């Protein structure tokens, strides 16, 4: 059996730059220069600022901490960082409850330090992406405080979604809707009205039918763009516009309305794209244009619109992270996603871990989650491992999880498109499962007692050194407790150690820059159902063995491998890159 010259079942994507180019689906990509298209195949590293590096020892990661680790990021070889929210926040949802969109939380830094951080990263050629949270603000936001102080029906209330309650005295919520974090989606205020929050009660939803809200976000986008930010990650991009005409549907009715048609009252409505068309004008008024990526948990066929050049430009592909470690499942997602990217003219994105899901080293070491991926927002997120319930840690096979995670990461980093990496995955970090209840912070834990452990386990501050206070995170205790095993996963423990996960990422990211050309791949037959192989232009072959039996690699130079290649055989649950 040989790998050579066989099936080419899929070619997708577009030329990265240069002249007009018609891809196989017939879409035409306008000529672009690389300053404007850096994002198409970028490796973007997500920093969760409170848990990355703490420069002043108060237990909370900060901008000075990020500045101090710029050499680490440079050596890692990423193209951009995406910062989760660092704005003033009471932390009801890890910073996704923003009290002021145009400032830095004083516990994290100052605007001057933000500018210094951007300069330090730009100095190393690393782009900066910040998180925009437009669906809801914090209840501490000045507008929500004004809304509370104002009367029902007032302009201040019209910036959010207030309704009278039901029942003779209005003491029942307008509907029985549940929030994504569990519990009711409506909360009552002192004068008896109720406001809508799809997430925590501290996260009131904005009324996007109000032009004032629209204008304010345009100003926020300009504010950060003017400070040199290169792009934006858009939180819950599929929820902003809502059809809340009376009578409102019940929870059961709401759940039964199909989500893929653009007219669901809440999720993924067609009219949300009017907002992004306006944003696009702001992005394109800068040189180079600012970029954006949508966090939109939508059905696959709905993704291209978010990713289109008239809209946000890129959208997260979460289908890979909802799959088990399985050859057929991985291939199907890649084939479909490249086709969808070609449809939108964007490049695909790939994600295996982020601050909302169980880290992939742990997911792949657990028995498959009992929940299937259904069609409601909750179902999709549960499928992605938002809920650790039902994933008993005593059944965790740590080394298997790590082995598979390394294989999946090398597979991901070889795909055409951009890879979004989450801080700590380059160390092979596992989820921290045993955080004591009293130390937990995530609202999903508090709002689903006994059911959901929440997302704190992937947000534990990074280990930089083998020992010392908070393993080099800072001079004091970390804001979430770190387990003893962090020592062996620290940057210090893995640096310079051949075969460590950190060195594998460093090598792969360096090679990726060198090998990456056009956004295309060609599948290569392997003769085994549990082995995938694909070739990128220029003779860059990637082989992933999802099975157990070793697989004889074809002739060529093994550039990097996630497991030990002996006598030309790729071990089970491993990936190799081969130059042919
Ligand atoms: C997004 C964020 C998540 C947050 C939620 C509400 O899904 O990634 O962390 O809790 O939005 O803002
Ligand atoms: Ca600090």
Ligand nearest to the CA of 136: 1
Ligand nearest to the CA of 137: 1
Q: Single out the residue in 460, 480, 510 at which a domain terminates.
A: 510
Averaged pLDDT for residues 275-279: 98
Based on the fold, state whether residues 51 and 91 are members of the same structural domain: yes
**Among residues 465, 467, 473, 471, which one has the least CA distance to residue 492?**
465
Distance from the alpha carbon of residue 355 to the mean position of ligand 1, in angstroms? 9
What would the pLDDT profile of 194-208 be if each residue is shown by its tens digit?
999 999 999 999 999
Based on the fold, state whether residues 245 and 342 are members of the same structural domain: yes
Lowest mean pLDDT among 3-7, 174-178, 266-270, 403-407: 3-7
Averaged pLDDT for residues 474-487: 96
Ligand nearest to the CA of 443: 1
Ligand 1 contacts CB of residue 235 (under 6 A): yes
Based on the fold, state whether residues 8 and 125 are members of the same structural domain: no
Residue nearest to atom 9 of ligand 1 (CA): 356
Based on the fold, state whether residues 415 and 506 are members of the same structural domain: yes
Ligand 1 contacts CB of residue 296 (under 6 A): no
Averaged pLDDT for residues 295-299: 92
Based on the fold, state whether residues 74 and 216 are members of the same structural domain: yes
Distance from the alpha carbon of residue 62 to the mean position of ligand 2, in angstroms? 5
Based on the fold, state whether residues 422 and 362 are members of the same structural domain: yes
Based on the fold, state whether residues 356 and 425 are members of the same structural domain: yes
What would the pLDDT profile of 6-42 be if each residue is shown by its tens digit?
333 333 333 333 333 333 333 334 334 588 999 999 9
Residue labelled with tokens 């507008």: 143
Atom of ligand 1 nearest to the CA of 443: 10
17: region left, alpha or beta (phi > 0 left; psi from -120 to 50 alpha): beta
For 494, the token pair is 């893995």
Residue 190 lies in a domain: no
Atom of ligand 1 nearest to the CA of 356: 9
Atom of ligand 1 nearest to the CA of 355: 9
What would the pLDDT profile of 83-126 be if each residue is shown by its tens digit?
999 999 999 999 999 999 999 999 999 999 999 999 999 999 99
Ligand 1 contacts CB of residue 133 (under 6 A): yes
Based on the fold, state whether residues 100 and 8 are members of the same structural domain: no
d(CA 325, CA 305): 29
Ligand 1 contacts CB of residue 351 (under 6 A): no
* Rg over CA atoms, the chain: 23
d(CA 350, CA 316): 7
How many Cβ atoms sit within 10 Å of the Cβ of residue 211? 8
Atom of ligand 1 nearest to the CA of 297: 7
Ligand 1 contacts CB of residue 230 (under 6 A): no
Looking at residue 333, which CATH number applies to its domain? 3.20.20.80
Based on the fold, state whether residues 339 and 377 are members of the same structural domain: yes
Distance from the alpha carbon of residue 181 to the mean position of ligand 1, in angstroms? 10
Predicted confidence (pLDDT) at residue 523 exceeds the cutoff of 70 = yes
What would the pLDDT profile of 121-151 be if each residue is shown by its tens digit?
999 999 999 999 999 999 999 999 999 999 9
Ligand nearest to the CA of 97: 1
Query: In 3-state terms, what secondary structure has residue 531?
Result: strand
Out of 97, 234, 236, 267, mutate this one to test ligand 1's pocket (max ligand atoms within 8 Å of CB): namely 236
* 169: CB partners within 8 A, 6+ apart: 192
Averaged pLDDT for residues 511-527: 96
Name the pLDDT band for 382 (thresholds 50, 70, 90). Answer: low
Name the pLDDT band for 377 (thresholds 50, 70, 90). Answer: low
For residue 24, what pLDDT is reported? 35
Ligand 1 contacts CB of residue 199 (under 6 A): yes
Ligand 1 contacts CB of residue 131 (under 6 A): no
Q: Single out the residue in 510, 536, 558 at which a domain terminates.
A: 510
Atom of ligand 1 nearest to the CA of 96: 12
The total domain count for the chain is 2
The dihedral formed by the CA atoms of 172, 175, 180 and 186, expressed in degrees to the nearest 10: -40
Spell out a b/e string for 316-336, using b for 16 or more CB atoms within 10 Å of the CB, else e.
Answer: bbbbbbbbebebeebbebbeb
**Among residues 288, 448, 300, which one has the least CA distance to residue 375?**
300
Distance from the alpha carbon of residue 60 to the mean position of ligand 2, in angstroms? 4
Residue 192 lies in a domain: no
What would the pLDDT profile of 414-471 be if each residue is shown by its tens digit?
999 999 999 999 999 999 988 999 999 998 888 877 777 888 999 999 999 999 999 9
Atom of ligand 1 nearest to the CA of 381: 7
What would the pLDDT profile of 527-551 be if each residue is shown by its tens digit?
999 999 999 999 999 999 999 999 9
Out of 141, 235, 452, mutate this one to test ligand 1's pocket (max ligand atoms within 8 Å of CB): namely 235
For residue 379, what pLDDT is reported? 57
Looking at residue 540, which CATH number applies to its domain? 2.60.40
Predicted confidence (pLDDT) at residue 398 exceeds the cutoff of 80 = yes
Residue nearest to atom 7 of ligand 1 (CA): 236
Residue 97 lies in a domain: yes
Structural domain harbouring 11 = 3-26+521-579
Name the pLDDT band for 338 (thresholds 50, 70, 90). Answer: very high
Out of 199, 315, 357, mutate this one to test ligand 1's pocket (max ligand atoms within 8 Å of CB): namely 199
Based on the fold, state whether residues 318 and 221 are members of the same structural domain: yes
Helices (H), 286-438: 303-307, 327-344, 360-363, 377-383, 398-413
User: 230 or 386: which carries more pLDDT confidence?
Assistant: 230
Ligand 1 contacts CB of residue 356 (under 6 A): yes
**Among residues 540, 575, 529, which one has the least CA distance to residue 1?**
529
* 324: CB partners within 8 A, 6+ apart: 368
């Amino acid at each position: 059996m040989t790998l050579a010259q066989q099936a080419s079942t899929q070619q997708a994507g577009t030329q990265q730059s240069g002249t007009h180019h018609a891809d196989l689906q017939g879409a035409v990509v306008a000529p672009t220069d690389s300053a404007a298209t850096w994002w198409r195949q970028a490796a973007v590293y997500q920093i969760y600022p409170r848990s990355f590096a703490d420069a002043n020892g108060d237990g909370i990661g900060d901008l000075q901490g990020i500045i101090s680790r710029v050499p680490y990021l440079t050596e890692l070889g990423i193209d951009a960082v995406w910062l989760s929210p660092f704005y003033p926040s009471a932390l009801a949802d890890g910073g996704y409850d923003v009290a002021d969109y145009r400032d830095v939380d004083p516990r994290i830094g100052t605007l001057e330090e933000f500018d210094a951080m951007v300069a330090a990263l730009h100095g190393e050629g690393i782009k900066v992406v910040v998180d925009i949270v437009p669906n809801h603000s914090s209840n501490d936001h000045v507008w929500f405080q004004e809304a509370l102080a104002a009367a029902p029906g007032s302009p201040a209330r019209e910036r959010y979604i207030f309704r009278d309650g039901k029942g003779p005295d209005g003491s029942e919520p307008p509907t029985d809707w549940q929030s994504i974090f569990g519990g009711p989606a409506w909360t009552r205020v002192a004068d008896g009205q109720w406001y809508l929050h799809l997430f925590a009660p501290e996260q009131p939803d904005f009324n996007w039918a109000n032009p004032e809200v629209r204008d304010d976000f345009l100003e926020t986008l300009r504010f950060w763009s003017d400070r040199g930010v290169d792009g934006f990650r858009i939180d819950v991009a599929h929820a902003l516009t809502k059809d809340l005409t009376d009578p409102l549907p019940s929870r059961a009715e709401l759940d039964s309305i199909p989500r893929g048609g653009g007219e669901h009252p809440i999720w993924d409505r067609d009219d949300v794209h009017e907002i992004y068309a306006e944003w696009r004008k702001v992005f394109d008024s800068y040189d180079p244009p600012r970029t954006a990526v949508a966090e939109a948990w939508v059905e696959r066929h709905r993704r291209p619109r978010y990713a289109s050049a008239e809209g946000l430009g890129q959208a997260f592909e979460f289908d890979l992270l909802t799959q088990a470690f399985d050859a057929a499942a991985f291939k199907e997602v890649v084939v479909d996603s490249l086709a969808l990217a070609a449809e939108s003219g964007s490049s695909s994105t790939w994600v295996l871990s982020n601050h909302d899901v169980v880290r992939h080293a742990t997911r792949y070491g657990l028995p498959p989650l009992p929940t299937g991926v259904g069609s409601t927002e909750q179902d999709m997120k549960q499928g992605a491992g938002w809920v650790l319930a039902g994933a008993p840690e005593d059944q965790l096979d740590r080394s298997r999880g790590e082995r598979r995670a390394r294989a999946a990461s090398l597979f991901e980093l070889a795909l055409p498109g951009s890879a979004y990496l989450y801080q700590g995955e380059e160390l092979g970090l596992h989820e921290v499962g045993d955080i004591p209840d009293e130390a937990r912070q995530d609202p999903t834990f508090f709002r689903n007692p006994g059911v959901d452990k929440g997302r704190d386990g992937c947000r534990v501050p990074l280990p930089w050194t083998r020992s010392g206070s908070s393993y080099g995170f800072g001079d004091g205790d970390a804001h979430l407790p770190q387990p003893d095993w962090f020592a062996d996963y620290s940057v210090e423990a893995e640096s310079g150690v051949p075969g460590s996960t950190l060195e594998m990422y460093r090598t792969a990211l360096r090679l990726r820059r060198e090998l990456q050309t056009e956004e295309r791949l060609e599948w290569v037959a392997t003769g085994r159902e549990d082995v995938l192989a694909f070739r990128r232009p220029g003779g860059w072959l990637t082989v992933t063995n999802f099975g157990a039996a070793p697989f004889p690699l074809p002739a060529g130079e093994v550039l990097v491998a996630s497991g030990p290649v002996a006598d030309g055989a790729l071990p089970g649950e491993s990936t190799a890159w081969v130059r042919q």
